[in-house]
């Protein structure tokens, strides 16, 4: 049963925010691909040893791959986990799926959208015309088909999906829990409305009046149970207008992950996750102000923006 | 645009982009998925040449008619949204396809089979299966979208160290992520009541294919440096051959200029094998209708 979250002041620190995620939760991670992933929260989740998670969502990359590499995931119902043509497949995700450590429940975007919509509308299921006839049917014995009583057409029925937690990173939020997302929202609004609670990190906590000045609220406060201000909280993914995607760091990540589970533990998890006490230490470890100022300088002009991508050669 | 006047020949990537662009009809709503730089460029080429009234919806950002200053190596980046007239959210994008408004979508696969089914989920079966990244919303769109263009830049397959070849174009996919002219268990689109018509073209690094009325793949075009034998040797089954196999039309200098200006980092070459990046062809005569180009 969904509820409303009405606490007047929801500001907490990052460890407290993440501590509300329980082992075994169904977790919807916000953002998409190389943009606005709640990476600081994910690193904190791993430090706290929260595991057995079932992750659900659309097109993801380093967020889900890192969770898999740290052994925090037991099942995945994402529609895509990879690094596109930038660096290719997601090495930890692939290893975890192939070893059986993670149960593969792959889904597709519109199917997930319809499942979230059912939860949002308080319905047990939603119909969808597509996906019948594909091999996804064998991964999802819970799907049913029915004959439409109005048209006689066969339809697929997919059950409501209400994640335990939507873990989001937004540009702005206020103490009450209102969130403002700028740029593509991906599935964040659906996640927020379908989930039992939203845990959000934000780049800047501002007043409710300031949110209105910035252009208004994207996710109303009563879906949200806790907010933590975490600057550069999406690094190494982008969180415009504050900073662009850190491609060199992502390349370093991907090389470590591609070298095997032990190499990943030694070359990435140790220095950037387990071996840093907090987010501030992480930011120093990835290059500190020199790197962060450069990523924040994307809007100077197109040449500066272009140079942010050009300095890491693509994987062969 | 100085690059346009300097182009004296084109690369394989540019020829594939032009071929992808030619599948786009003006005045229709067209969408590319993420991780598809060849297709991203093809849509911008079409919009700026023969299809100025297409509704260009960008993958990942869902921006409508953006004018990006350059192509980035990942799809969900504000660079790619620059100048967009508006943006869709994820449910609206897929609703458009489900309700019949989406005219064309582009799909690829680590396996593509004789009925145009594609696999980006899992290679092999059981314990030895290899997990692939997954298909995003491709499965839904393969059922709903009016027409689908398939592509791959990895038709040519080489033997691995053990002498095995993992063909890209196969008889039947190990896992049907996206349906083609048959479902995973062999039923037709008509029997399923899908809204869309399925794939009508497959563009590869070796040739151009269409699908016959019964849904089977057929070779209809070749590059200046490929032969029917190349196609047969690199395909896991014997594909049908059209009576007349025509040369694939090459892009003109204007199209090549658009591509080079938009992709200064050569992001689209990430899709190509290293040895294919050196394939070059003479430019074609204006490949797109002159009148349409003049209005772009």
Nearest CB neighbour to B176, from listed A93, A135, A245: A135
Calculate the CA B282 to chain-centre distance.
22
What is the domain partition of chain B in residue ranges?
1-14+24-88+250-274, 103-248
**pLDDT of the residue at B128:** 87
Q: Where is pLDDT greater, at A185 or B289?
A: A185
Q: In chain A, where are the structural domains located? A: 14-106+162-310, 129-159
Superfamily, domain A14-106+162-310: Glutaconate Coenzyme A-transferase (3.40.1080.10)
Chain A residues 84-143 with CB within 8 Å of chain B: 84-86, 89-90, 93-94, 97-98, 104, 106, 108-111, 113, 117, 128-137
pLDDT of residue B101: 97
Nearest chain A alpha carbon to B265:
A310
- pLDDT of B292 strictly over 80: no
CB contact under 8 A, A82 and B35: yes
**Spatial separation of the C-alpha atoms in residues B116 and A39, rounded to whole Å:** 38
| 3-state SS, residue B194 | coil
Question: Cα Rg for chain A, rounded, in angstroms?
Answer: 20
- CA dist A169 and A179 (Å) reads 9
* CA B258 vs CA A5, A143, A179, B35, B285: distances in Å: 51, 46, 40, 20, 16
User: ipTM of this model?
Assistant: 0.94
Q: Do A302 and B178 touch (CB under 8 A)?
A: no
Helical (H) or strand (E) element with A159: strand A154-159
Residue A310's pLDDT is 82
Q: What local confidence, expressed as pLDDT, does residue A104 receive?
A: 95
Minimal CA separation from A134 to chain B, in Å: 5
pLDDT reading at B4 higher than 50: no
In terms of C-beta density within 10 A (0-12 exposed, 13-18 middle, 19 or more buried), how is residue B291 classed? exposed
Give the CATH class of B103-248. alpha beta
Closest CA in chain B for residue A57:
B136
Chain A interface mutation, best of B32, B74, B191, highest count of A Cβ atoms under 10 Å:
B74
Please tell me the predicted confidence (pLDDT) of residue B290.
45
Nearest to A314 among B90, B192, B270 (CB): B270
Cβ proximity of A58 and A116 under 8 Å? no
Q: With 50 as the cut, is the pLDDT of residue A118 above it? A: yes
Q: What is the mean pLDDT of residues A255-266?
A: 98
What was the pLDDT predicted at B161? 87
Measuring CA to CA, which residue among B215, B279, B226, B218 is closest to residue B248?
B226
Q: Can you tell me the mean pLDDT for A147-152?
A: 96
**pLDDT tens digit string along B152-202?**
999 999 888 888 899 999 999 999 999 999 999 999 999 999 999 999 999
Q: How far is A310 from chain B (nearest CA, A)?
A: 7
Mutation pick from A80, A94, A154, A194 vs chain B, by most beta carbons of B within 10 Å, is A80
Q: Stretch B52-65: mean pLDDT, rounded? A: 96
Cβ(B143)–Cβ(A155) below 8 Å? no
Q: Over range B197-213, report the average pLDDT.
A: 98
Tell me the average pLDDT across B12-16. 98
**pTM as predicted:** 0.95
Task: Choose from B90, B91, B115, B215 for mutation: most chain A CBs within 10 A.
Answer: B90
- Tell me the per-residue pLDDT of B138-163, one tens digit each, with 9 for 90 and over: 999 999 999 999 999 999 998 888 88
Return the minimum-mean-pLDDT range out of A132-141, A297-306, B4-13, B88-97.
B4-13
pLDDT at B127: 82
Tell me: pLDDT of A175 over 60. Answer: yes
Could you tell me how many residues make up chain B? 296
**Per-residue pLDDT, A1:** 60
CA distance B32 to B138: 10
pLDDT digits (tens, 9 = 90+) for A103-117: 999 999 999 999 999
Nearest alpha-carbon partner for A264 in A94, A69, A83: A69
**8 Å CB contact of B73 and A314:** yes
Which residues in chain A have Cβ-Cβ distances shorter than 8 Å to B115?
Answer: none
Q: How confident is the model at residue A312 (pLDDT cuts 50, 70, 90)?
A: low
Size of interface A-B (CB pairs under 8 A): 185
Looking at the complex, report in whole angstroms how far the Cα of residue A277 sits from the nearest Cα belonging to chain B: 30
User: Which tokens in the block code for residue B213?
Assistant: 């009325």
Q: Residue B294 — pLDDT band, cuts 50, 70, 90?
A: very low
The answer to whether A153 contacts B193, with C-beta atoms less than 8 Å apart, is yes
Distance from CA of B102 to the nearest CA of A (A): 14
% of chain A at pLDDT higher than 70: 98
Our CA angle for B282, B287, B293, nearest 5°, is 130
For residues A23-50, give the mean pLDDT. Answer: 98
> Are the Cβ atoms of A245 and B74 closer than 8 angstroms?
yes
Using only C-alpha atoms, chain B has a radius of gyration, in whole angstroms, of 18
Task: Please give the residue of chain A at the shortest CA–CA distance from B36.
Answer: A85
Mean per-residue pLDDT over chain A, rounded: 96
Cβ contact A65:A92 at 8 Å: yes
Chain B residue with the nearest C-alpha to that of A238? B77
Q: State the DSSP H helix or E strand holding residue B220, giving kind and residue range, or none if neither.
A: strand B217-222
- In A195-234, the residues whose Cβ lies within 8 Å of chain B are none
Per-residue model confidence (pLDDT) at position B24: 98
Between the alpha carbon of residue A310 and those of residues A173, A251, A305, B58, B254, the distances in Å are 33, 12, 9, 22, 25
């Amino acid at each position: 049963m969904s509820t409303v979250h009405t606490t007047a002041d929801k500001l907490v620190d990052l460890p407290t925010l993440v501590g509300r995620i329980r082992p075994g939760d169904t977790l919807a991670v916000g953002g998409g691909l190389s943009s606005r992933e709640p990476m600081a929260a994910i690193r904190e989740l791993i430090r706290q040893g929260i595991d057995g998670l079932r992750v659900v969502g659309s097109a993801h990359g380093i967020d889900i791959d890192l969770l898999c590499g740290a052994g925090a995931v037991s099942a995945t119902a994402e529609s895509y986990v990879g690094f596109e043509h930038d660096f290719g497949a997601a090495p930890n995700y692939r290893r975890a799926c192939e070893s059986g450590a993670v149960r593969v429940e792959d889904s597709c975007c519109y199917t997930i959208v319809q499942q979230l919509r059912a939860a949002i509308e308080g319905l047990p299921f939603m119909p969808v015309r597509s996906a019948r006839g594909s091999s996804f049917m064998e991964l999802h014995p819970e799907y049913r088909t029915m004959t439409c009583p109005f048209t006689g057409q066969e339809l697929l029925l997919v059950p409501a999906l209400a994640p335990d937690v939507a873990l989001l990173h937004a540009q702005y939020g206020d103490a009450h829990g209102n969130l403002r997302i700028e740029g593509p929202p991906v599935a964040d609004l659906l996640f927020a409305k379908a989930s039992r609670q939203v845990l959000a990190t934000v780049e800047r906590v501002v007043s409710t009046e300031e949110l209105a000045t910035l252009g208004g609220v994207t996710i109303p406060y009563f879906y949200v149970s806790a907010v933590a201000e975490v600057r550069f909280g999406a690094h190494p993914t982008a969180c415009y207008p504050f900073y662009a995607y850190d491609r060199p760091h992502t390349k370093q990540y991907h090389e470590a992950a591609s070298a095997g589970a032990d190499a990943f533990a030694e070359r990435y998890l140790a220095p950037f996750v387990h071996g840093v006490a907090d987010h501030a230490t992480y930011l120093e470890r990835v290059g500190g102000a020199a790197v962060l100022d450069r990523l924040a300088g994307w809007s100077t002009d197109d040449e500066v923006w272009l140079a942010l991508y050009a300095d890491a050669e693509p994987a062969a | 645009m100085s690059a346009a006047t300097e182009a004296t020949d084109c690369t394989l990537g540019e020829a594939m982009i032009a071929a992808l662009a030619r599948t786009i009809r003006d005045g229709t709503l067209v969408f590319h998925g993420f991780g598809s730089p060849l297709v991203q460029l093809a849509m911008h080429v079409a919009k700026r040449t023969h299809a100025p009234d297409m509704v260009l919806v960008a993958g990942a950002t869902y921006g409508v008619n953006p004018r990006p200053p350059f192509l980035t190596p990942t799809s969900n980046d504000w660079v790619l949204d620059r100048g967009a007239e508006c943006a869709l959210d994820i449910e609206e994008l897929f609703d458009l396809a489900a309700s019949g408004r989406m005219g064309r979508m582009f799909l690829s696969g680590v396996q593509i089979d004789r009925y145009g089914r594609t696999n980006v989920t899992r290679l092999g079966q059981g314990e030895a299966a290899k997990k692939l990244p997954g298909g995003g919303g491709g499965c839904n769109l393969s059922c709903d979208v009016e027409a689908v263009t398939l592509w791959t830049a990895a038709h040519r397959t080489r033997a691995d160290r053990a002498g095995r070849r993992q063909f890209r174009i196969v008889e039947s996919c190990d896992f049907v992520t996206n349906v083609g002219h048959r479902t995973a268990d062999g039923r037709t689109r008509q029997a399923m009541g899908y809204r869309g018509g399925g794939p009508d073209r497959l563009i590869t690094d070796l040739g151009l294919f269409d699908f016959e009325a019964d849904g089977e793949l057929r070779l209809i075009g070749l590059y200046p440096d490929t032969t029917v034998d190349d196609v047969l040797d690199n395909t896991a089954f014997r594909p049908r051959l059209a009576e007349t196999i025509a040369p694939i039309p090459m892009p003109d200098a204007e199209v090549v200029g658009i591509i080079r200006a938009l992709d200064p980092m050569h992001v689209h070459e990430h899709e190509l094998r290293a040895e294919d990046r050196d394939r070059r062809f003479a430019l074609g005569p204006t490949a797109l209708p002159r009148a349409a180009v003049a209005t772009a």
